[in-house]
Amino acid sequence: MIRKLSHHIIQYTVIFILCFITSNYGRKFQINFRLQPIDYRGQQAISPRYYQGNLTLPCQLEESSSSQRITYYWTHNHQPVQVDHRIVLRNGNLTLKWIQSSDAGSYQCFAVHNYGISASRIATLQLRHLTLPFNQSDKIAVQSLNNGQYARLTCLIPPLTNPLPNSIYWTGSNDNYITVQKHPQLYQSFDDGTLHFALVQPSDSSIYRCHTVFQLYDPMVHKYVTVVNHGQKQKLNISSGANPLISSSPVRVVTAPIDQEVPVGEKSVHFQCVVTGNSSTFQIQWYKSNDFLPIYRYRLSNNRYRLTIVDVRYEDRGQYYCQINDIHGHMIAERKALLTVIALPKWKYSIQDQVISLRQSSFVWHCQATGTNLQYRWYANGDIITNSTKYRSYPHNGTLIIQTLQQSDSKVYTCMSINRFGNIVKSALAQFVYDSPPTFVLRPFAITKWILNRTNKLICQANGFPTPRLSFTKNDQQITSSKLTIIPSNGTLIVHRAELSDEGIYQCIATNQNGSIRIQTKVIIIPSFRLVLNYNSTIIRTGQQIRLTCNIANQQYGLNHSISWSYSNSRIYPSNRMTITANASSSTLAIHHSLFNDTGIYTCHVLSYVDDYGYISNMATATVHIIDIPYLPKNVRMDQIMPRSVTLRWHQQIDSNRPLTKIQIDYQSRSSGKWNQQIISARNFVSPSDTITAILDNLIPYHYYIIKLTMVNTVGQRQINQEYQVATLPDKPTLAPAQFYVSTTGTDFQHLSISWLPLPRQLHYGPNINYRLYYNLYSTNLWRFKEAGDSGHYILKDVISHSKYNLYLVAWNSMGESESKSPIATVTTNNPPPTSLPPFPKLYVIGLSVVRVRFENVWNSADIKISNRNKIYFWQDGAQFSKSTNVILNNLSDIVLHSVQQGRIYKFQLCANGEGGDSQIKRIATVNVTNPVPDRIQDVTFTKQNLSGVLLKWKAPLWLDFKASYQNIEYYRIEYSSPEDPTYARISTVTKFPTYSIDELPEGLYTFTITARGRYGYGVPLDITYDMTYCQNPATPYGLTVKAIDGNNIHLLLQWKTDDQFQGVSFIMQYKVSNSQQEFQNITHNVVNDFRYLVPLHMLNQSKEAYQFRIIAVICSLMSIPSDIAIYKPIVQQPTPTQIFNNLWHIFLPCLTGGTAMITVLLVIYYIIHRRFSYNQSYNRKKSTVYPRESTVSARELITSSCRTRSVVSYNSKDKIYKTSIA
């Protein structure tokens, strides 16, 4: 009665809202469920005895507009659910408290909304019936059997237990677990746990106990609770007497496999076949009818009594059987079982919202799913549809037919597909309407505002039936842009990344077969804006002020902005410590006296309202870290003092509020008084309390140091007040003395004078610094040494006259001798050293690490002899001991030095070097390796242009390293003068191009200096001399001859003579066709420097007439009078075979004709010879005593003279056989 009353109320409610439904056709309705009731069955069945919590069945309709009101109700076993204090309905979810046995069954949810009633899927609630504990009597059940009999022990599970236990196991004496696999005669049933003994033996006498394990599902935590029931003890007494019938015990199937029905995806399915008898007399095999067992997914267990298939698939369906065979393979018994695999329903064609014209008399709706054993059920506004004059449903194919259509048939229809293991539903709204012209239900405003570079919408919706088709135009033109998208379902025009060009007059047009309407709007583009924070991320020291400013970079016109701030997603409001100031385009957040807990992410929010668009939100974030300076180090100590390093250890406290970024170690040597720094990264020191080990290296041995420690982070540093002193250990020297020079001295230059620059105090590295001079005769390898002292000068007298020596110098102290030595110097006694130097070379920086040394104005005199060998020492300023280099120059040519560093200052020292050693006079120059200039130009060529003109060409200089910023030649400077004519003034000029032309240059010898200028000045000059000799008019060539050098007139050889001895003479060859009015034309575009030339005939204009040739000489652009004319007339020849047989057909046709004629002649000859041979045979039979001698005739003779030789016959005297042959 209550159910009927509820349905009547619902029907009246549906009729009341039909007008609202019909006014909304053509749109998508939210009438399906977002959350549907779920099943609690099988392994997830609920046990009321062990689960005392609440059980909630969910039911939620899809999200819809706030104007739609939704009411839910439920049915239990197809009866309305009455809610009370135990059964609660809230927001569609049904909650059951204190679950009772009457709560088991099926549940279905219904949602009443503006468009009708939607039905959910049917959920099943299964309750576990457990009477625990069971079968736990202290009395022991006893079975007495004879040896060799069949026996079984049952678990005695109560019949009402459902579902059955999750697992069952048996224990024997002393509660030892029984492993069935180890006993061939033993088997345990998988469903009820019965323990089968195929043949009992005296050893099976024991006390047995069955244990059942239940996994009880807890829906609150989605976990399982394990409950174990320990059954009654059972005893087997097996007689020990021998049974002669054991070996012949009959084989019998006591438990056969049974038919089963499982869903797809079931974890496992089991078939069992229990057989009694002696296991050594039979074998059990499992098969699948007409197929193989599933590969890799079947298991045989319990001594092959059980077949298990895991991960069940639909293709596993079919008939399985166990076959019992004797040891000879003969079948004893066979048992079969059918496995039915049910596929859960899944939609193939689900129903969708429909709008149907009332012009139709009926409507057919199809609903189809994939699955096994499916049935279909239809609902109309929550009521099950039964066949009547209005409805006709087909449960087997899901078709619904609605007849005699009326507007009141507009309802929510639900199609359900169901089988034994599940069901699915889909709801849709069917609207039955009359035809109508379009009418707008949503109109755009007269002026629509779009935001630049954002996605914008133009909404225009219309109703009517059939559903109107919407289109848009811009400035009366159809919209075709790819960035404009029209969504026909809701009439929305979407513009992706609007541009200024998208402004215009837009029209929305709605059209169906009953009419067309349109509405227009003017679209204007509003520039978008972006936010700029003064910090994206900042670190501030605690106590200081945090000041964040948020600016709107480009304002939107006509818009109001609302700016707010938030910290970690919580809005910030002004307070005593936080202030916010704002104007039309910016806002500033100030936090005074910052604290550690102010660290976090601050967000500036800007909200702007645009008509037709809505609110535009934008945000910018800044990350602020509040920290303080690091803690002071504690317990500083120094150990592992080495000659060049000291190890420091101390205790350092570190936390996130006082991080440590780096460690600064300041140290000072007492001798230098200069403070140095060593920075150590603290990235590896992050623990709250850490012992830090730092190694101070790059120290100088045998020095006293003062050390200070400073802890540094981003906001400041903290330095310990105490200074630490340490003395490094001594070590042997590592460097050699610099500026090592050797020269002869004395009255006859019989002694050697050695000078050097001693090491400074900081490079002694230990006490008692001194120097050791090593020397040997040039021709021997025996080195001797002398202690040279530390004054920087030493006279070596222990030398032999007129002998050549090698010498080098090494520093040493109390710790040992240095491994570095000075460059080896070579000197010959009794030879005076050089007394003078050449002018110091000029230094050019021609690369980032390259210096060119160029000697200029080198001169000698009779009194002062400049040595042909010189020595250059160069070193980096301040590092002459560690990075000194010397170069020996055997002549005064330019050299390029690559072993310098960019940005460093170098000093160069030059002295002359000869057989008597180094000169006493030395010169020093300094160069800064910066601002490189171009190197010398390359490949200078001189070309005479006329009688007195010359053209200079050259190539740009090569850059010795790759730096595009300075590889630019601004211009070239050209200077030239005549050393032979002092009155000729030196001329200097510039050009931007690597060419220079001089129109009037008098005869004589000239010196040219060409210098390239780069970004930082003039580069290395290049000096070159040129002898200018005037050109004269060339003599007329004579003796011109022309002849063909092959028989086919392919090449012509021209030869001539001239009286000119000038090396620059060249020739121009000309020709024309005889008896023509044309002028002579050049054979080639280039001049020829030889007295002969080979002319390919194809270069000339083809003619059968004669050719005329002539030659013109050229010197410095001056031309001679043309030579006499030479005539050549081509020889006309017959077409050559090559010309005839250019075409393949010209070859094939003659060959075919000749071959045919040849075969015909040979056939005729063969016929003649054959007749002759037959005649000779008959003749020779008559004269058998006369044999002709063997003879042969060639085929050529037969062909050319058949009248002279008619047959060719040979006789073999050995075999006495005549034969005919053609050679």
* CA dist 1169 → 42, 608, 1042, 1063, 1223 (Å): 110, 121, 62, 82, 13
3-state class of 1121 per DSSP? coil
Mean pLDDT of 111-116: 92
Q: What CA–CA distance (Å, rounded) separates 413 from 350?
A: 12
SS3 string of 181-232?
A: HHCCCEEECCCCCCEEECCCCHHHCEEEEEEEEEEEEECCCCEEEEEEEEEE
Is the pLDDT score of 12 beyond 70? no
Which range is most confident: 166-170, 1070-1074, 1163-1167? 166-170
The yes-or-no verdict on residue 1050 having pLDDT over 80 is no
pLDDT band, very low/low/confident/very high, at 741 (cuts 50, 70, 90): very high
Of 9-18, 397-406, 695-704, 1188-1197, give the lowest mean pLDDT range. Answer: 1188-1197
Q: What are phi and psi of 656, to 5 degrees?
A: -65, -25
CA pseudo-torsion sign 897, 898, 901, 902: positive
User: Which residues on neighbouring strands pair with residue 275, listed in sequence order?
Assistant: 253
Looking at residue 784, what is its pLDDT? 94
- Kindly report the number of other CB atoms within 10 A of residue 968's CB atom: 10
Judged against a pLDDT cut of 60, whether residue 1211 lies above it is answered with no
pLDDT at 414: 96
Q: What is the pLDDT of residue 908?
A: 86
Q: What whole-number distance in Å separates Cα of residue 1111 and Cα of residue 1037?
A: 7
| Contact of 757 with 792, CB cutoff 8 Å | yes
Give the amino acid at 1203.
Answer: C
How many whole angstroms separate alpha carbon 148 and alpha carbon 628?
90
What gap in Å lies between CA 93 and CA 123, rounded to an integer?
Answer: 13
pLDDT at 1196 over 70: no
For residue 600, give both structure tokens: 């976090």
pLDDT at position 868 is: 65
- Over residues 4-13, the mean pLDDT reads 43
Which two three-digit tokens encode residue 311? 């991960």
What the block records as the tokens of 402 is: 């609605």
Kindly provide the b/e burial profile for residues 171-186, where b requires at least 16 CB atoms within 10 angstroms of the residue's own CB.
Answer: beeeeeebebeebebb
Judge whether residue 652 has pLDDT over 50: yes
Q: How many Cβ atoms are within 10 Å of 915's Cβ, its own excluded?
A: 18
- C-alpha–C-alpha distance, residues 1083 and 1098, integer Å: 11
Q: What type of residue is 760?
A: P
pLDDT in tens, 185-215: 888 888 888 999 888 888 889 999 999 999 9
* Distances from the Cα of 109 to the Cα of 11, 15, 32, 39, 78, angstroms: 17, 21, 12, 13, 11
Q: Give how far Cα 799 sits from Cα of 538, 775, 802, Å.
A: 76, 10, 9
Q: Is the pLDDT of residue 94 over 50?
A: yes
What is the structure's pLDDT at 964?
58
> Looking at residues 867-886, what average pLDDT do you find?
75
Please check the confidence at residue 1219 and state whether its pLDDT lies above 60.
no
Stated pTM of the model: 0.45
What kind and span of H or E run contains 936? none
User: What percent of the chain has pLDDT above 70?
Assistant: 85
Angle 177-179-180 from CA coordinates, rounded to 5°: 135
Mean pLDDT of the chain: 83
Express the helix, strand and coil content of the chain in percent, nearest 5 each: 10, 45, 45
DSSP letters, 1017-1084, are: EE---EEEEEEE----PPPPPEEEEEEESSTTS-EEEEEEE-----TT-EEEEEEEETT--PPPEES-
pLDDT in tens, 975-1021: 998 887 777 778 888 888 999 998 888 888 889 999 999 988 999 99
As a whole number of Å, the CA-based R_g of the chain is: 58
Closest by CA to 519, choosing from 435, 614, 613, 448, is: 448
pLDDT at 897 over 80: yes
In this predicted structure, which of 309-313, 835-839, 1149-1153 has the lowest mean pLDDT?
Answer: 1149-1153
- Lowest model confidence (mean pLDDT) among 757-771, 775-789, 1146-1160, 1209-1223: 1209-1223
pLDDT, tens only, 271-306: 999 888 887 888 899 999 988 999 889 999 888 889
Number of Cβ atoms within 10 Å of the Cβ of 748 = 12
DSSP state for residue 277 in the 8-state scheme: S
CA–CA dist 512, 1210 (Å, integer): 110
What does the pLDDT read at residue 67? 67
With 60 as the cut, is the pLDDT of residue 1214 above it?
no
Residue 153 to residue 327: CA distance in whole angstroms: 29
Lowest mean pLDDT segment, chosen from 540-554, 806-820, 892-906, 988-1002:
892-906
Q: How far is CA 307 from the centre of its chain?
A: 50
For 329-335, what is the mean pLDDT?
A: 91
What percent of the chain lies above the pLDDT cut of 90? 38
pLDDT of residue 257: 93
Number of Cβ within a 10 Å radius of residue 72: 20
With 60 as the cut, is the pLDDT of residue 178 above it? yes
pLDDT-derived band of residue 1203, with 50, 70 and 90 as boundaries? very low
Residue 612: pLDDT band by 50, 70, 90 thresholds?
low
Mean pLDDT of 576-582: 91
Q: Tens of pLDDT along 14-50?
A: 333 333 443 444 455 688 999 999 999 888 999 888 8
Listed as own residue / partner, the contacts of 261-264 with beta carbons closer than 8 Å and 24 or more positions apart are 261/339, 261/340, 261/342, 261/420, 262/312, 262/339, 262/340, 262/341, 262/342, 263/312, 263/341, 263/342, 263/343, 263/344, 263/421, 263/422, 264/312, 264/313, 264/314, 264/341, 264/342, 264/343, 264/344
The pLDDT score that the predictor gives to residue 609 is 76
Q: For 1105-1118, write each residue's pLDDT tens digit.
A: 788 889 998 876 67
pLDDT in tens, 1156-1165: 888 888 887 8
Retrieve residue 1007's tokens.
Answer: 């010196």
Cα 186 from Cα 854, distance rounded (Å): 108
Closest C-alpha among 599, 473, 506 to residue 546: 599
Q: In angstroms, rounded to a whole number, what is the distance separating the alpha carbons of residues 1012 and 955?
A: 11
Q: What is the pLDDT of residue 966?
A: 65
**pLDDT at position 960, please?**
67
Structure tokens given for 742:
């050797």
Residue 172 in this model has a pLDDT that exceeds 60: yes
Is the separation of the CB atoms in 630 and 713 below 8 Å? yes
Which runs of consecutive H residues, i.e. helices, occur in 622-730? Answer: none
Better-scored residue on pLDDT, 209 or 1216: 209
Residue 246 pLDDT class (50, 70, 90 cuts) = low
pLDDT, average across residues 66-94: 90
The DSSP code for 280 is G
Query: Per-residue pLDDT averaged across 407-423, rounded?
Result: 94
State both tokens at 408.
Answer: 């009141």
Long-range contacts of 141-146 (CB under 8 A, 24+ apart): 141/232, 141/233, 141/234, 141/235, 142/234, 142/235, 142/236, 142/237, 143/234, 143/235, 143/236, 143/237, 144/237, 144/238, 144/239, 145/200, 145/236, 145/237, 145/238, 145/239, 146/238, 146/239, 146/241, 146/243
Hunting for tokens 């609920």 — which residue is that? 46
Q: Which of 611-625, 680-694, 722-736 has the highest mean pLDDT?
A: 722-736
Low-confidence winner among 20-29, 1048-1057, 1201-1210 (lowest mean pLDDT): 1201-1210
